[in-house]
Amino acid sequence: MVLSRGWAVFLVGVGIWTWVIWPRFAVAIWQDPRSWASGTVADGAATSFLWVHALLIAASLAIGTTVGVLGIRAWFAARRRQAA
């Protein structure tokens, strides 16, 4: 598959966006009283609310990283094609 530089930049942007947004969301979930059985942050057992969101965040970061890496690879491939 051949991607243009524009699409490569878009993919890199999506990867960066993912790493800007999801860690902030993770902090918000960690500080949410619904994440803890006692209702106090970081006190007691983690609830399913925390675990489900942690899995969502981990999956999103993995996908975002993959998309960003593909964008970087596409950018360099476009540079090599242009130089040839």
Q: Which residues, 6 or more positions from 48, have their beta carbon under 8 angstroms from its beta carbon? A: none
Q: Please give the pLDDT value at position 64.
A: 98
Q: Please give the pLDDT value at position 1.
A: 81
Q: Residue ranges per domain, the chain?
A: 5-83
Q: Please give the pLDDT value at position 84.
A: 79
Q: Please give the pLDDT value at position 41.
A: 94
DSSP 8-state assignment for residue 4: -
pLDDT tens, the chain, 84 aa long: 889 999 999 999 999 999 999 999 999 999 999 999 999 999 999 999 999 999 999 999 999 999 999 999 999 999 998 887
